[in-house]
Amino acid sequence: MRLFLLFSLLCISIASNAAVYRWVDENGKVHYTDEPKENAELVEINQNTQNTAELNTLKRNSPAQEKPKEQPTLELTIVSPIHEETIRSNEGKIDVTVGVAPRLPKGVLLALFVDGEIKAQPQTSTLFKLSGINRGEHTIVVKALDQNGKVLALTPPRKIFLHQATVILRPTPRGN
């Protein structure tokens, strides 16, 4: 059985090394075939003949040569309240207006921080209405955040004072 298999493989390898003939017809068209034709010539094929092709590759600029896209610098300012302003509100209400230059890019949100804690949900509006703020000195900062929470810009800290009037009930003297 092994001998038969070896003989079959030997025959296949000899048959695969068949001759190639080249001939030209009456119209001048070149043909190739494995059967000899009239006026056909035998084409010698070297064993180490290899077809090669060169690919035209696109030349890309190296990262050092590429110019990064310039992102416009986002500038935020607190328009109101003004620095060290005293706000009188018994309910602890403060309205904060933010100026943005240039326009707020798509997907960027503004977040308001009072004394380092976020006090309003991030939003696209430049007007924040706060309530329930306790009396005293507070520092306000507004940050521009991208979708991942990265800070793109922030305002300089703004110090404000919230004044709430109090009524101290004193017992009234009773006459004897």
Token pair recorded at residue 142: 């507004």
Q: How far apart are CA 140 and CA 150, in angstroms?
A: 19
Name the domain count of the chain: 2
Which of 133 and 59 is assigned the larger pLDDT? 133
In this structure, is residue 137 part of a structural domain? yes
Tens of pLDDT, residue by residue over 20-45, are 888 888 888 888 888 888 788 887 77
Q: What mean pLDDT comes out for the span 110-136?
A: 91
- Same domain, yes or no, for 35 and 114? no
Q: What mean pLDDT comes out for the span 75-102?
A: 91
- Same domain, yes or no, for 100 and 143? yes
In this structure, is residue 51 part of a structural domain? no
Q: Which domain holds residue 36?
A: 17-44
Query: pTM of the full predicted structure?
Result: 0.54
Residue 17 has pLDDT above 70, yes or no: no
- Same domain, yes or no, for 80 and 150? yes
Among residues 8, 33, 31, which one has the least CA distance to residue 19?
33
Q: What is the CATH number of the domain that holds 130?
A: 2.60.40.10
- Name the β-bridge partners of 101: 75
Which of 39 and 92 is assigned the larger pLDDT? 92
pLDDT band (50, 70, 90) for residue 97: very high
Q: What is the pLDDT of the chain when averaged over all its residues?
A: 80
